[in-house]
Structure 1
Amino acid sequence: MTTPRRKKAAQEAAPAADELRIEYMRLDELLRWPGNPKEHAEEAIAASIARFGFRDPLAIDEASGRIVAGHGRLSVLEKAHAAQSPLPQYVRQDADGMWLIPVTRGGHFDDEAEASAYLVATNRTSELGGWDHELLSAFVEPLDDVLKGLTGFDWPELDPVTSDPASFLDGIITQHTPPAAAATEASPPAAQEAASPPPDTDTNPYMQVVYVVRKDERDRVMKAIKDARERFTLATAPEAFMRIVDAYLEAQNVQ
């Protein structure tokens, strides 16, 4: 017979129907949402987890038992575990060596359509927010180069005088009129070719590509991009990066 005291203790131990909680689940038991359309910068995610730990739990829809937030983090963890990488901070390990991942439990949706909508919304609403570039620059400026590199922004390519992210972004998405010197007869054909404005962003949109390099390699990367900008009189770092990529593909005869 259950005493009133034991019954009360059991009720307190059981989670409420509408209460979120964090539990540790085995990595090999986590299920993805089928057809998830979100792409992920896995290298940047891996660098962040390595430095800061796994601070952002995955989220599960209790009705289906599938993940509705955290697919990119899940992929990074699976690859790290398969490579026998060190256990990330805030990740535990089961007796058999399988990683135990913090997961937000208790959330449920009326049906799979609502869960699918949430999966897209939780990613898209963050993208729509944008940044106050002036505040962002001031916020990140005191950080050292390693921490700046972990933010996901291409900070070394910002103007070293103004350190203004807006000027860098404008350089990506707006059409430029190159300096008059670029169009002189003394300019090489490659420079004249580079003087044409970039394609219309309405029909050929830009997207961010993030690569993480070691600190001792950063200066070499920046030197190459700076040299390409000066040599071909290019207005932005992304244009210089693509010129380097094109030169490599041409040299290796890659179609």
Structure 2
Amino acid sequence: MGIVAPRYTSYVPLGDLTPSPGNPKRHEIERLIESITTHGFLDQSIVDERTGHVIAGHGRREALIEMQARGSRLPDGLLVDDDGGWLVPVQRGWSSRNDLDAKTVIIKLNRLTEAAGWDPRSLAEYLEDLATGDAELFDSLAYSDEEMEQLLRRVDPETLPGGSPDASELDGLDDAVSAGFTNSGDNERAVSTCCPACGHRFAPGQ
């Protein structure tokens, strides 16, 4: 007798994914589109078997619908049906007990990812690697100047793997972060820029 998986992946037409009525979570669709375009479709939506509604993945659903409307190429991770429609992988097998249970799960799946926060030192090290290794990927994270300033208040730049900046770099660190990446007048990326994680000057991609 074969084992029946309690959770499984099924590819369904994008147009068949029905959002939960009144879903309260907001989404940054353009950032989701950028992520899917760059990295492929990584995070499956989840469908409630009792209602047939999406309980996780509303934003990704909206992003895919917008991408298809714009005529974007098929993202990595999706399939195409015989009529050219996009087929999306979704997690199946879970059923809510009632509408209140479903609403709780919709909120909880989002709240749990927010609650733990970040380890500031590990995050700063990741950002330093990205800023010095691939500035375009770093930019795609869309960290605000305020967020970077808050992170720098919690991490000593001298302890990061990139090494200890000299005194002049440390003195100018706050100004560099407040200004973000140094840009020339025509908005082109400058030859030298300041890593927002550690304060080091570097040429993007070096």
TM-score where L is the length of structure 2:
0.69
> Which of 123, 131, 134 is the equivalent residue of 1:136?
123
Instruction: Give the 5 Å matches for 1:75-86.
Output: 75-86=62-73
Unaligned runs of 5+ in 1: 1-7, 169-215, 224-255
- 1:220 alignment partner, SS class: coil
Structure 1 position 48 matched with structure 2 position 48: no
The CA distance in 2 between the partners of 1:136 and 1:155, in whole Å, is 15
Structure 1 position 125 matched with structure 2 position 115: no
The answer for the alignment partner of 1:181 in structure 2 is: none
- The range that moved more, 31-40 or 41-50, is 41-50
The CA distance in 1 between the partners of 2:75 and 2:142, in whole Å, is 20
The answer for the alignment partner of 1:93 in structure 2 is: 80
Q: Percent identity?
A: 33
The answer for the alignment partner of 2:100 in structure 1 is: 113
What displacement does 1:153 show? 2.2
Aligned AA (2:151): P
The answer for the alignment partner of 2:49 in structure 1 is: 62
After superposition, what is the alpha-carbon deviation per residue over 1:80-110, rounded to whole angstroms, capped at 9, x for unaligned?
1111110000011111011000100001111
The answer for the alignment partner of 2:140 in structure 1 is: 150
- 2:18 alignment partner, SS class: coil
- Indicate how the Cα distance of structure 1 residues 221 and 35 shifts in structure 2: closer, same or farther if over 3 A, else same: farther
The answer for the alignment partner of 1:165 in structure 2 is: 151
Runs of 4 or more, structure 1, over 4 Å off, are: 155-159
**Alignment RMSD (CA, Å):** 2.8
What displacement does 1:156 show? 11
The answer for the alignment partner of 2:202 in structure 1 is: none
The answer for the alignment partner of 2:23 in structure 1 is: 36
Unaligned runs of 5+ in 2: 155-182, 191-206
The answer to whether the Cα contact below 8 Å between 1:137 and 1:165 also exists between their aligned partners in 2 is: yes
Q: Which structure: greater helix fraction?
A: 1
- 1:124 alignment partner, SS class: helix
What displacement does 1:151 show? 2.8
- Indicate how the Cα distance of structure 1 residues 221 and 111 shifts in structure 2: closer, same or farther if over 3 A, else same: farther
What displacement does 1:155 show? 7.1
After superposition, what is the alpha-carbon deviation per residue over 1:49-90, rounded to whole angstroms, capped at 9, x for unaligned?
111100101000001010000000000000111111100000
After superposition, what is the alpha-carbon deviation per residue over 1:154-178, rounded to whole angstroms, capped at 9, x for unaligned?
379847xxxx72449xxxxxxxxxx
Bigger-Rg structure (1/2): 1
- 1:80 alignment partner, SS class: helix
- 1:28 alignment partner, SS class: helix
The CA distance in 2 between the partners of 1:140 and 1:54, in whole Å, is 23
- The range that moved more, 31-40 or 132-141, is 132-141
TM-score where L is the length of structure 1:
0.56
Q: Which structure: greater strand fraction?
A: 2
The CA distance in 1 between the partners of 2:39 and 2:56, in whole Å, is 19
